[in-house]
Copies of this chain bind each other. A is one copy, B any other.
Amino acid sequence: MNLSERLLNGDKRAAARLISMVENKDPKAFEVLKKLYPKSGNAYVIGITGPPGAGKSTLTDKLAKALRNKGKKIGIIAVDPTSPFTGGSILGDRVRMSDLNTDPEVFIRSMGTRGHLGGLSEATQGAIKVLDIYGMDYIFIETVGVGQSEVDIVKTCDTTVMVMVPGLGDDIQAIKAGIMEIGDVFAVNKADRDGAKRTAREIDMMLDFNKADWRPPVELVVAIENKGIEELLQHIEEHKKYLRETGEFEARRIKNSKFEIIDLVQQKMMSVLLDKSNKEDMIDTLSKDVAMRNTDPYTASENVFKKVKMD
């Protein structure tokens, strides 16, 4: 059997192999995804995000287990921070969620960010498609960090759970302001700590400024003790219902397709740019000229742009 057939037959290794191929930009992977794309779109994609130390992995683990208990098949994609110099996922082999790892109906994968020129979003979108076609009912996308690339990823999810935690210090106001529009559901984790209720109240107050029809609920949870998990799941299901009933679900998926198309075109343009300009060491030569102040970066980039017309 070829990879497509194996994936459709629920072969876990085929799914893992396809994701690796997507990460390595293997054209064969995209041929498979093109062919099987009509079979995608059934999985519900849940983003789990929030600042470092919020306990996102544990929360994802508990939500996944709760859904397993309801008979659902679960995919988990953990987007890991990466060394920007090597481009590899340092935590790619991270051992986590041990009892879920052995469950045949659960697929867990870590993905690393891929250096300066992007591609993380492309790889994550590809992995979502693989797991979707593979038959997962729910796919969790867990991202560490609050950076722009990470935000771009959770923006493509159906429901995004923003995980907050008491006592993050001064930056909490900044984080809250920046992420308020991303969260569909808020979880204040580690709610047995001092200040949890105050953090929940603060989030709730900021949500007063949100004029959208959907009012994001704020749930206190203690993930490690499995407290508040069912309630959180209920909120996610309510949001799902809201999206379906209002037509917002389709609108979001169209918007996400737009992001993905633009991202793919951008990746393609970059690879053509680097191919063409590297052949003649053009960018390297110009970089030296800019550093020596023989030219400036704006003039240099205009010259590169003229030179590497796309074809």
Chain A positions 77-96 with a Cβ under 8 Å from a chain B Cβ: 80-86, 90-91
Of the residues B55, B80, B305, contact of A169 by C-beta under 8 Å: B55
A116 contacts which chain B residues (CB < 8 A)? 152, 155, 259, 262
Chain A positions 294-311 with a Cβ under 8 Å from a chain B Cβ: 296-302, 304-305, 308-311
Interface string of A274-310 (1 = CB under 8 A from B): 1000000001101110110100111111101100111
Question: Taking the nearest CB of chain B, how far is it from the CB of A93, in angstroms?
Answer: 12
Of the residues B55, B148, B269, contact of A149 by C-beta under 8 Å: B148
Question: Taking the nearest CB of chain B, how far is it from the CB of A205, in angstroms?
Answer: 15
A97 contacts which chain B residues (CB < 8 A)? none
> Given A51-B52, A259-B116, A273-B265, A175–B288 Cβ distance below 8 Å?
no
How many copies of this chain are found per oligomer?
2
Report yes or no: A297 in contact with B260, Cβ–Cβ below 8 A. yes
> Given A170-B53, A273-B269, A297–B84 Cβ distance below 8 Å?
no
Which one, A8-16, A179-187, A214-222, A230-238, is touching chain B?
Answer: A179-187
In Å, the complex CA distance between A134 and B259 comes to 38
Q: Give the interface centre of A254, A283, A296 by most chain B CB atoms within 10 Å.
A: A296
Report yes or no: B169 in contact with A53, Cβ–Cβ below 8 A. yes
Question: A207 near B: Cβ within 8 Å?
Answer: no
Report yes or no: B266 in contact with A266, Cβ–Cβ below 8 A. yes
> Given A80-B174, A146-B144, A148-B149, A253–B291 Cβ distance below 8 Å?
yes
A250 contacts which chain B residues (CB < 8 A)? 291
Give the residue name and chain of the B residue nearest to A125 (CB).
B297
Interface size on A, residues (CB 8 A): 94
In Å, the complex CA distance between A56 and B179 comes to 19
23 A-B contact pairs sorted by A residue (CB < 8 Å): A37-B293, A37-B296, A40-B293, A51-B52, A53-B170, A54-B171, A55-B170, A58-B170, A81-B179, A83-B180, A116-B262, A117-B262, A147-B150, A254-B288, A255-B287, A257-B287, A257-B288, A258-B283, A264-B297, A265-B304, A269-B269, A269-B270, A305-B310
A51-B52, A147-B147 given; name 19 further pairs at CB < 8 Å: A30-B298, A33-B296, A34-B298, A38-B293, A52-B172, A54-B171, A81-B179, A84-B155, A90-B177, A144-B175, A145-B145, A146-B146, A148-B148, A165-B169, A253-B291, A257-B300, A261-B290, A269-B305, A309-B310
